Amino acid sequence: MTIENHPEPASATASATATATDGDTHADGDAHPDGIVTTTVNGVRTVLAPRPGPLTAGLLFRVGSADETLATRGITHLVEHLALHHHGLGDLHYNGATAAAYTHFHVTGTAADVTQYLGGVCAALRDLPMDRLETEKEILRTEAAGKATGAAHSAALWRYGPHSYGLAAYPEFGLHKITEQDVRDWARTRFTRENAVLWITGDSVPEGLDLDLDLPSGTWHPAPEPTSFLPTTPAYFRGDDGGVCLTSVLPRSTAATLFAGVLGKELFRELRQKGGYSYTATADYCVRDAGHATVVAYADALPEKQDALVGAFVDVFAKLRAGRVEQSDLDAVRASALSLFDLPDLAAARLPAHAVDLLLRHRGLTTAEARARIEAVTVEDLRDVARAVWADALMQVPDRGVEWAGLAAAPCDSADVVTGRRHPALENASVSVVVGTEGISLVTPHGRATVRYAECVLLRSFPDGARHLIGRDGISVAVEPALYGIRPSDLSVVDASVPPSVVVVMDPRAPSRIPGPAKRGLAAAWRNPLSGLVTAAIWGLGALGVVLAVVTCALAIHTAARSSAPTDREVRPVMAAGFLTAACAGTCVTQLRRRRGSRTRGEAT
C-alpha cells in the first residue's frame, strides 16, 4: 500500500508557494535524518541514497497534462517521446512517463549508463529532433488507441471539466495543431533546471553527470490550480462501464491513506465475499498535488446485479461514516504500513516519492514522524475521514440515479439555448441545431447543450464541414452538416467567432466515417448484417401487406359482382385477407417507428 508520510498543510495555497527551505530540505551536501543526501548537479536539485546493485536514477520535471489546454493537449507527452527517440533499442532499462503534474525520465544500469542516458535526455531537450515530429504524433495516436482507461477516468472530466486535472480524461486533441515552434517553446520554458529534481540510488553523483546534465535556465512552475464544475457534492453521474466508482478529493494526510486501506477491506468483504456482487472491489489513495489527494473506490458487477451493487456500495460508506469501523481492519492496515519501514535500504526506496515532494514543494516527514502519525490514527479519525470523503464524493453509477442516498445529479446539459436559426435533423424534427451569433445549441427531447463562442475551449474543424465544439464547462456540441442539411455559409459565424487559439483543423475523414442520412441504407446493412436482415424483413412484410390489400379488394369486388347478398362462405376469404393486410401494415409501421426512435436517441447522445 502507499503511505502518506506527510503532514496536513495549512492550506493548498501555502503548500503550492512554499519555499525550497521548508520542511526537510537541506543545504547542498546536507544529510536528511533518514540518510537521504541533498545536493545539486549543474543547478538541478538532487537527492541521493545508497542501495546495493545497479544504479537507478530519475529526472523529474514539474510539468504534465494538467498544465496544458484542450487545444494543446498532448504537447508534454510529445516532448517526452521526442526526448527519448535517439535511445532506440538496447539492453538499457529506461523509460519515460507523463503524469498530470510531472514528467519522469528514469533508468537502471551502471554509473556510465546513467550518465549517458540522462545526458542524452538533456541534449535532446535542448535540441529536439523535429524531423520526427509527425512520426511521433502518429505513434502517440496509436498508443492512445490501445490504451485502457482507469476506473476514475470519467470522474476527472466531470469534476474538473476540460481544464487542469480534467485534461487527462480527454484525447490528445492538440496533436493535430501543435507546431515545431510550440514544441520548442514548451521544452525551453518547462524542461528547465529550476523546474527539475534528480534522484539517484547511490552515495555519489556518477562521474561526468555534472557536465552532461545540461538544461536551460528557467523558473519553477507550481502545480496548476484545480478547476471545478460540480455545483454541489456529493453528486453522481451515469457511466457505461457497468461498475461503480467513487472519487473524493481531500487534504493529504496519514489518516486518509489508512482509511483507503480500511475501505478496500470493507468493500471486498461486503461486495465480493458476502454479497457476491463483484469480482473487483477495491480502494486507493492517489496524490494529486502538494496539498491534496484523491481517494478512489471501485467495484464491478454483472448487469443483473448492478442495482444491488449500488445499494451495498452506499451501505459500506454509511457504515464507515457512522463510525462502525472494524478495529481489526485498522490494526491490519496499520501493521502493513509500519512494515514498510522495515524494508532494507528504506532511504533509497523512498527516493522517488521524496523527489516528487521536493518537485511539488511539499514538506515530507521523517521516518520517525511518519511512524508516530501512523500509530496515532484511531477509529474516530477514520470516521472523520469517511465523512469528509462522502461530503466531496462524485459517484459513477451504471444506470439509475442515487438521489435516494443523498447524492445530486451532476449537471449534464445547459441551462439555456441560444437565439438563432434552427436547423432540424433531416430524419427527426425533434432534434435540431440552433446557430446563433453568440453560440450554438443542440436541442433534443432528452436535453440541450449550448457552447458559447467566447467560452469555447476547443473547436475541431473538419474539411467535410463538420464542427465539434467543447465549452469551458465540458458541454460539447457536434454539428454534422449532412444530418441537418446545413450549408457551409450557415456555419461561417462559428469560424469567425471562436478564438483562433482553440481551433484545431482535423485531417480529412474517410467517407464511411462521415455521418449522414444517406449512409444509413445498404452500407449500414453490410456493416451490421443482422440489422440489415431485420430491415429487409420489415420491408418485405410491408410489401406483403400491399399485395394482400390488392387481393382483398379483388375478392371484395368479385364477391359483390356475383351476388347482392353474399353468403358467409363467400365473405370469409375477404375478411381473412383484410385481417392479414391490417396485421402486416401495423407490424411494419410499429417496427419502423421503433427503429427510427432508436437511431434518434443514439444521435442525440
Q: Express as a percent the part of the chain with pLDDT over 70.
A: 79
Q: Per the structure block, which three cell numbers stand in for 12? A: 493548498
Given pLDDT bands bounded at 50, 70 and 90, which one contains residue 5?
A: low
Distance of CA 87 to the CA centre of its chain: 30
Domain segments of the chain: what residues? 18-212, 235-347+360-409, 420-516, 521-604
Nearest residue to 36 (alpha-carbon basis) of 358, 361, 373 = 358
DSSP-assigned letters across all residues of 380-433: HHHHHHHHHHHHT-EEEESSS--GGGTPEEPP-S-S----EEEEEETTEEEEEE
pLDDT at 581: 56
pLDDT at 573: 60
Instruction: Give dist(CA 604, CA 325) in Å, integer.
Output: 45
Nearest residue to 190 (alpha-carbon basis) of 38, 40, 80, 355 = 80
Instruction: Give dist(CA 137, CA 81) in Å, integer.
Output: 9
Residue pair 320/383 in contact (Cβ under 8 Å)? The answer is yes
pLDDT at 32: 63
Q: How many residues appear in the chain?
A: 605
Q: Is 200 exposed, middle or buried (0-12, 13-18, 19+ CB in 10 A)?
A: buried
Given pLDDT bands bounded at 50, 70 and 90, which one contains residue 557?
A: low
For 234, residues 6+ apart whose C-beta sits below 8 A from its C-beta are: 390, 391, 392, 393, 394, 395, 406, 407, 408
Give CA separation, 285 vs 97, 114, 232, 325, 334, in Å. Answer: 20, 31, 22, 18, 15
Q: 3-class secondary structure for 150-216?
A: CCCHHHHHHHHCCCHHHHHHCCCHHHHCCCHHHHHHHHHHHCCHHHEEEEECCCCCCCCHHHHCCCC
pLDDT at 544: 60
Residue pair 468/460 in contact (Cβ under 8 Å)? The answer is yes
Residue pair 215/125 in contact (Cβ under 8 Å)? The answer is yes
Mean pLDDT to the nearest integer, 31-51:
89
CATH classification code of 18-212: 3.30.830.10
pLDDT at 582: 59
3-state secondary structure (DSSP) of residue 334: helix
Residue pair 71/501 in contact (Cβ under 8 Å)? The answer is yes
Instruction: Give dist(CA 582, CA 188) in Å, integer.
Output: 75
Nearest residue to 26 (alpha-carbon basis) of 18, 17, 36 = 36
For 43, residues 6+ apart whose C-beta sits below 8 A from its C-beta are: 193, 194, 215, 217
Domain 420-516 annotated CATH 2.30.29: yes
Instruction: Give dist(CA 68, CA 78) in Å, integer.
Output: 12
pLDDT at 150: 76
pLDDT digits over 528-537, tens only?
444 444 445 5
Nearest residue to 224 (alpha-carbon basis) of 69, 59, 10, 60 = 69
**Of residues 402 and 569, more confidently modeled:** 402
Instruction: Give dist(CA 249, CA 293) in Å, integer.
Output: 6
Instruction: Give dist(CA 299, CA 282) in Å, integer.
Output: 7
Fold of the domain built from segment(s) 235-347+360-409: Cytochrome Bc1 Complex; Chain A, domain 1 (3.30.830)
pLDDT digits over 128-143, tens only?
999 999 999 999 999 9
Nearest residue to 163 (alpha-carbon basis) of 474, 429, 426, 384 = 474
Nearest residue to 443 (alpha-carbon basis) of 475, 473, 398, 410 = 475
Q: Per the structure block, which three cell numbers stand in for 467? A: 464542427
Helix axes 529-562, 568-604, angle to 10 degrees: 150
pLDDT at 86: 84
Given pLDDT bands bounded at 50, 70 and 90, which one contains residue 386?
A: very high
pLDDT digits over 329-340, tens only?
999 999 999 999
Nearest residue to 370 (alpha-carbon basis) of 4, 37, 5 = 5
pLDDT digits over 250-309, tens only?
999 999 999 999 999 999 999 999 999 999 999 999 999 999 999 999 999 999 999 999
Q: Per the structure block, which three cell numbers stand in for 522? A: 445498404
pLDDT digits over 338-374, tens only?
999 999 899 999 999 999 999 999 998 889 999 999 9
Given pLDDT bands bounded at 50, 70 and 90, which one contains residue 241?
A: confident
Nearest residue to 193 (alpha-carbon basis) of 125, 106, 120, 101 = 125
Residue pair 71/167 in contact (Cβ under 8 Å)? The answer is no
**Of residues 63 and 579, more confidently modeled:** 63
Does residue 602 register a pLDDT over 50?
no
R_g over Cα of the chain:
31
Mean pLDDT to the nearest integer, 482-493:
94
Mean pLDDT to the nearest integer, 2-23:
37
Q: Per the structure block, which three cell numbers stand in for 332? A: 491490519
Instruction: Give dist(CA 316, CA 297) in Å, integer.
Output: 11
Does residue 322 register a pLDDT over 50?
yes
For 161, residues 6+ apart whose C-beta sits below 8 A from its C-beta are: 227, 228, 229, 472, 473, 474
Q: Per the structure block, which three cell numbers stand in for 514? A: 462521415
Q: Is 603 exposed, middle or buried (0-12, 13-18, 19+ CB in 10 A)?
A: middle
Enumerate the H helices of 491-566 as residue ranges: 492-497, 522-527, 529-562
Mean pLDDT to the nearest integer, 599-604:
30
| Domains 18-212 and 420-516 alike in fold | no
Instruction: Give dist(CA 179, CA 167) in Å, integer.
Output: 20
Given pLDDT bands bounded at 50, 70 and 90, which one contains residue 584?
A: low
Does residue 102 register a pLDDT over 90?
yes
Instruction: Give dist(CA 336, CA 257) in Å, integer.
Output: 12
Angle at 345 (CA atoms; ends 341, 348), nearest 5 degrees: 100
* pTM flag (> 0.85): no
3-state secondary structure (DSSP) of residue 240: coil
**Residues β-bridged to residue 432:** 424, 443
Given pLDDT bands bounded at 50, 70 and 90, which one contains residue 148?
A: confident
pLDDT at 364: 86
Does residue 189 register a pLDDT over 70?
yes
Given pLDDT bands bounded at 50, 70 and 90, which one contains residue 242?
A: confident
Instruction: Give dist(CA 290, CA 358) in Å, integer.
Output: 9
Give CA separation, 214 vs 1, 201, 204, in Å. Answer: 36, 20, 18
pLDDT digits over 42-87, tens only?
999 999 999 999 999 999 999 999 999 999 999 999 999 999 988 7
Q: What mean pLDDT is reported for the chain?
A: 85
Does residue 558 register a pLDDT over 70?
no
pLDDT at 40: 95
Does residue 443 register a pLDDT over 70?
yes
Instruction: Give dist(CA 463, CA 126) in Å, integer.
Output: 36
